């Protein structure tokens, strides 16, 4: 509680004459935490006095010392007499009278001592502090809405957290993604690999359902798009599929294609549409078209599918440009 109160005090200090904070939150926390390691009754002070410290000492010696200050001076007087050559006949009471104003001066000097400056932070540490602050704000808003339970295995599994993290990573809020990563870390888990569906022994309709569920977070109507390209990819009698058959086991090439997010597939679909392909402008239809086309290339070319896809996209771009030239 003590460190928190000091943090709040330092955080709320403003620069005189300007409505701006005197310290950043990170600096205020560092200064408050630094003061906590100093035992009660002690204080960190600069090695060299400041003008304010000297002025405070001078002002403090003018008032009359308190009885407590006089009593303290009497205890110090014998030490002074033993270690200094005083004039003959100097008594302890006389020395105590000279020392009595030193106690209030000392206290005034300590009060005038500046707060130790915050240690210079590395840019990485400062960025982490700012990100952590943003994460805490998001968590507080979520709690205010009644959300919680991420730390309860019976209420929320690590797989659930992984799914939510992937949803945010595919075009969501980086702060929310950071919070989900934090939750997985605190649960001692790891970010699980995507659970891809396998076609071995699965009917086409079942596979469509699995794929639709896997990508349902993208858009409300997205499963319809998934069903469309899944049917085309798996249909034995598809006109453009020829003799291609969906592999019984997931391959690296298929995983690459299935992992393409909609912000990547959208621009690609625009090129094919300009080249004459009939693609509706809805996000899910654009992604469905690209996934369908690239799945075929992945099945046919394997690990070289990207080279084939680049050549196919280049050809579509050339057709689009040729079409523009004819119209002009």
Q: What is the pLDDT of residue 236?
A: 41
CA–CA separation, 291 and 286 (whole Å): 9
Q: How confident is the model at residue 179, as a pLDDT?
A: 92
pLDDT for residue 118? 56
Given this model, what pLDDT does residue 69 score?
85
pLDDT at residue 219, rounded to an integer: 47
CA 133 to chain centre: 8
- pTM for the model stands at 0.32
What does residue 21 show for φ and ψ, rounded to 5 degrees? -60, 140
Q: CB–CB of 257/236 below 8 Å?
A: no
Q: What residue ranges of the chain have pLDDT lower than 70?
A: 1-3, 15-19, 30-40, 61-64, 116-121, 193-243, 325-328
d(CA 127, CA 300): 46
Which pLDDT score is estimated for 182? 93
Residue 253 contacts residue 308 (beta carbons within 8 Å):
no
**Within the chain, where are the H helices?**
2-11, 25-36, 51-60, 67-83, 92-99, 102-112, 123-144, 158-169, 174-186, 204-214, 222-234, 252-258, 262-274, 283-301, 305-327
């Amino acid at each position: 509680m003590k460190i928190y109160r000091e943090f709040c005090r330092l955080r709320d200090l403003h620069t005189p004459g300007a409505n701006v904070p005197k310290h950043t939150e990170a600096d205020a926390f560092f200064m408050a935490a630094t003061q906590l390691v100093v035992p009660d009754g002690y204080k960190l002070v600069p090695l060299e006095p400041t003008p304010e410290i000297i002025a405070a000492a001078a002002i403090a010696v003018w008032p009359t010392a308190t009885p407590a200050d006089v009593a303290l001076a009497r205890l110090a007087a014998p030490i002074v007499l033993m270690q200094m050559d005083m004039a003959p006949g100097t008594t302890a009471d006389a020395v105590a009278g000279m020392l009595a104003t030193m106690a209030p001066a000392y206290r005034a000097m300590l009060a005038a001592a500046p707060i130790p400056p915050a240690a210079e932070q590395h840019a990485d540490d400062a960025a982490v502090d700012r990100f952590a602050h943003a994460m805490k704000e998001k968590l507080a808003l979520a709690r205010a809405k009644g959300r919680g339970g991420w730390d309860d295995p019976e209420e929320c599994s690590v797989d659930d957290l992984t799914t939510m993290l992937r949803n945010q990573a595919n075009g969501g809020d980086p702060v929310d993604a950071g919070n989900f990563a934090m939750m997985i870390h605190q649960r001692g888990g790891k970010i699980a690999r995507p659970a891809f569906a396998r076609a071995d022994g699965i009917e086409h309709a079942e596979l469509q359902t699995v794929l639709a569920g896997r990508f349902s977070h993208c858009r409300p109507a997205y499963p319809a798009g998934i069903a469309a390209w899944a049917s085309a990819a798996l249909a034995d009698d598809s006109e453009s599929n020829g003799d291609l058959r969906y592999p019984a086991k997931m391959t690296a090439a298929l995983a690459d294609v299935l992992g393409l997010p909609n912000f990547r597939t959208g621009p690609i679909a625009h090129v094919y549409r300009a080249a004459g392909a009939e693609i509706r402008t809805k996000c899910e239809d654009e992604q469905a078209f690209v996934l369908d086309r690239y799945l075929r290339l992945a099945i046919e070319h394997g690990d070289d599918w990207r080279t084939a896809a680049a050549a196919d996209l280049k050809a579509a771009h050339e057709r689009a440009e040729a079409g523009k030239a004819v119209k002009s």
